[in-house]
Amino acid sequence: MENARSTNTQTNQHTSKLGCLTPELNSRIQQIFSGQAKTAIALRKSSTEERIAKLKRLRSVIMDHQQAIIDAAQKDFGRSPAEVEFTELMPVIMEISDHCKHLKKWLKPRRAKMSAMMFGSSSYTQYEARGRCLIIAPWNYPVTLCLGPLVPAIACGNTVIIKTSEMAPNFSKVLVSIVNSCFDENEVAIIEGDASVASALLDLPFDHMFFTGAPNIGKIVMSAAAKHLSSVTLELGGKSPIIIDETADLELAARTIAWGKYINNGQTCIAPDHIYVHQSVMQDFTHAITNAMNEWYGEGMAAKTSQLARIINRRHTERVNGLLQDAKEHGAKVVYGGAVDLDTNFISPTLLSDIPDHARIMQEEIFGPLLPLISYNALDEVINKINSQPKPLALYIWSRNKNNADRIIAETTAGGTCVNHIAAHFLDQNLPFGGVNNSGIGSYHGEWGIRAFAHERAIVRSHYMTAKMFFPPYTPRIRKILGLVLKYI
């Protein structure tokens, strides 16, 4: 959905070049979508064993592409191999393994308790495939956020068209190879191209649309889905805050935040966006986090030699730099870092203080290596600030006071929350991952992915028709029976 960075990608029956929509590509998209209609009906009847076999095949092909994925990350982001393995390979492999282990249990019909009105009947629910699904993947974690949702989509027996991001062209090329090695296009097709290609896909009446990206684009996806009453899962973003109270383990907090914030150099939807630090520990925390950042990354241009990723492209580098310069113009102080090299898409890890609320950096999602530090006196003021903003995708609490943590959780809303950790809820396959309102609609991971890509169908099998007691004519006897029912239900 972003402006394209051109690349020469080989076109085959599944893909287009990373450019704008052409009449030929549009015709091809229509052909694939029509072809998937028949396949969707057949896949609905596929067995759990068949679906698990496909997932195992996908896992094998992903691991065969491990070095290609690492190389693509280096070309598109300058990311280190270890970071790629931790953030791109591990989550997807975990997701596949979890589905292979639990899919039979997850898809098993579930009995419902018999109500008084349903005496003589048996009731249950069972999951069924939604049908033809669209996955629009982002550029920041191309493998995890493309193949991650593909796993439950396949597990539920759907067909899928994937739209990769044109902003990570080398990653996109690898994803094309992975998908083409595993699936026929009538089951899973992968399309490359810019926003015009995404718009053409959004015009189609998919049964379900799964989008990961910015809230403003999420609104476009939701509007397109509304035209066909397609169901949606929207994994969006926002400004995810951290609250550090006076009881926090400052050393652990500092090092964990310095790690979690600068994975992919801040280009993460659940990265900490800003930190509220109790005034009594602000000095000690600032000292601890600058020490950690200096140890791991180096200050200023020295950080260019570290394993930090680069900003994805020049446009986004200029956007993040614009936030930095605007903050400084409004009186913000650079506590640490602040180095910018537009020619290499590099901005060093940067801490800022004394930032007014009306500065752009406090109004827009940062999605980069800038980290504002905000002093506070009482939890009330922090909770009120958080509640005055759109609901965040993540909220992080650092405290050894259980009452403080419980109070923050009870009095705020967020897609997910970690106490004394960063981003851990994303890695836990036993938890749903998703936002709320502006930060997202719906969730996935583990069994919640099944709920996203399947419809839970309610089924009643009647063995004795109790309803016939209420057939017309409506006699006084029926009124008497209804009176008893209303009294005792």
Q: Which residues are catalytic?
A: 235, 269
User: Nearest CA to 337 among 269, 261, 434, 443?
Assistant: 261
d(CA 489, CA 118): 12
Give the Å distances, CA to CA, from 71 to 78, 88, 234: 9, 12, 29
d(CA 489, CA 467): 16
Backbone angles phi, psi at 108, to 5 degrees: -65, 135
Strand order in the sheet with 110-112: 110-112, 121-129, 454-462
Amino acid at 350: T
The token duo for 408 is: 């923050």
In residues, how long is the chain?
A: 489
470 secondary structure, DSSP code: G
C-alpha dihedral sign at 434, 436, 439, 441: positive
Nearest-10 crossing angle of helices 66-76, 169-182:
160
DSSP string, 101-163: HHHHHHHS-EEEPPPGGGTTEEEEEEEEE--EEEEE--SSSTTHHHHHHHHHHHHTT-EEEEE
185 secondary structure, DSSP code: T
d(CA 410, CA 225): 33
68-105 in b/e burial notation, b at 16+ Cβ within 10 A? Answer: bbbbbbeebbbbbeebbeebbbebbbbbbebbbeebee
Q: Mapping DSSP to helix (H, G, I), strand (E, B) and coil, where does residue 366 land?
A: coil
437 secondary structure, DSSP code: B
d(CA 397, CA 430): 21
C-alpha dihedral sign at 439, 256, 96, 167: positive
d(CA 210, CA 10): 26
Give the Å distances, CA to CA, from 95 to 22, 116, 268, 417: 36, 41, 19, 21
